[in-house]
Structure formats: structure tokens, C-alpha cells
Amino acid sequence: MHKSEIAAFEAEARTFLAERLAAMGPDEGGLANFYLRKLETGRIFSRYDRELIALLEGEARVVHAGIGIGQLSAALALQGSEVLGFEGDLRRHAAAEALRLRLAPDARYSIAFARFPDGLDPAYDPSGATLLFTNVAATWPDETYEAMFAMMHRFRRTILDLARFGDARQEPAEQAELAERIAAKGLALTPLNFVAEKTAFMEIRRAA
Ligand SMILES: C[S@@+](CC[C@H](N)C(=O)[O-])C[C@H]1O[C@@H](n2cnc3c(N)ncnc32)[C@H](O)[C@@H]1O
């Protein structure tokens, strides 16, 4: 996506988000602070969104787990990837579906209202696809972590942020602990060295 396309997307998404939040009223429909801040700053894309848009240009297939309102997954689909998004929260899923219809109606982009990985269709072939997690600090039980690690073996590669994967981890030691846990599953981690602050994005593949 060129800078001008990103700016046009953000302008349209800002209007979408403002209308959506206004229509929901004080309840905010589960969108709350994370998205209000986006409106206040005018930046619909987080810095890591922008870095991922650049990194994933040309990627054939992406599964994005925990898309929120789906600004990143819609952008990835608009630049040509076939994207399958998962969102486990009903109102965020509804917002993501509305954003998809407004900004990316013709893109190859579908959204499941389901928790990943439980909702992944057994017929989906993950072997050639990238599995992506961005800011899913959602307090997962241990069995969810184990199911995620098992999935990482099935996808071509996984991209995740050690600082926000199932929990928030700002301390390097906490991030290293998760990295060790992943490596112990026979997976190899390579830092992506993103400039986005307070993130620790990694690319993960099966160890050779
Ligand atoms: C803080 S929001 C961030 C949204 C988006 N990833 C971003 O970075 O802008 C995290 C979202 O992930 C969803 N989520 C967390 N774990 C999930 C799972 N296992 N499956 C589907 N959705 C999940 C939550 O419902 C929430 O909407």
C-alpha cells in the first residue's frame, strides 16, 4: 500500500469509527479506549500495523487472530492477500464486518466470529499461510497457549508480538520466558526488529 492509499484508508476509517462510536452511545459497544484513542490521535493504524502492511506485501494468505475492528486485516486484503480474520467478541466482530463492507467489500477478506484456533475450519490448509497475532493481550488459559503453539507447527510461519500475546509483557525477562516456552516446542524465533515502541515482534517457523 502506498502512503497515499494508507492516508485515504485512514480518512475513511476515521469517519467509519466516529459514526460507529456515536451510534453506540455511552456503552461504546466494547470498542472503548483502544479505539477512542485512535480517533483522538487520528491514527487508525498503529505503528506496528504500518510495519506489518509493508512486511506482508505480496503475502498470498494470512490468518489474523484477534482482529478487533480489522483495520489491519482489511488493509492486508486490499493489498492483495487472501485474509481470514478471527474475532471472538460479538460487537467487535460486527464492527469489523461493517468496516469490511465499507472499506474492502471486493477484497478476498472474510471474518469468522469465533475464537482462534477453535473456530478454524478443519478443511483450511494452513501450510502455505502466515499466522498473525497483533496485540492480543487477552489473558488466555494455559490450554489456549498450548493450542496456539500446536497451530504454529501447521502454518508456514507465525508472526507475533511477545509483548502482547495472551498477556501483556513489558519486561524483557517476561518476553524471554515466553520465547523460551515457544522454542521448547521445536519452533525457531527470529526478531523482526520493528521500530514500533513497546513491541517485540517475532517471526516463528518450525525449527530445522
Ligand atoms: C486489543 S484488541 C486489538 C485488535 C487488533 N489485533 C489490533 O492490534 O488493532 C484484541 C482483540 O483480540 C480479540 N481476541 C483475543 N484473543 C482471541 C482469540 N483467541 N480468538 C479471537 N479473538 C481474540 C479480542 O476480542 C479483541 O477484540
* Banded model confidence at residue 28, pLDDT cuts 50, 70, 90: low
d(CA 185, CA 167): 19
Instruction: State in Å: Cα 50 to ligand 1 middle.
Output: 18
pLDDT of residue 47: 96
Cβ burial, residue 32 (10 Å; 0-12/13-18/19+):
exposed
pLDDT of residue 29: 55
* Banded model confidence at residue 32, pLDDT cuts 50, 70, 90: confident
Closest C-alpha residue for ligand 1 atom 12: 66
Would residue 18 count as lying in a domain? no
Would residue 35 count as lying in a domain? no
Closest C-alpha residue for ligand 1 atom 27: 68
Of 90, 73, 69, the C-alpha closest to 82 is 73
pLDDT of residue 35: 86
CB 48 within 8 A of CB 18: no
Would residue 54 count as lying in a domain? yes
Would residue 82 count as lying in a domain? yes
Q: What residue ranges line ligand 1, CB within 6 angstroms?
A: 34, 65-68, 86-89, 92, 115-116, 134-136, 138
Q: What is the DSSP letter of 86?
A: E
* Banded model confidence at residue 27, pLDDT cuts 50, 70, 90: low
pLDDT of residue 25: 66
For the chain, how many structural domains are there in total? 1
Q: Is the pTM of this model over 0.75?
A: yes
* Banded model confidence at residue 26, pLDDT cuts 50, 70, 90: low
- Please give the residue range of the domain that contains residue 117: 46-206
pLDDT, tens digit, 9 for 90 and up, residues 162-173? 999 999 999 999
Instruction: State in Å: Cα 124 to ligand 1 middle.
Output: 21
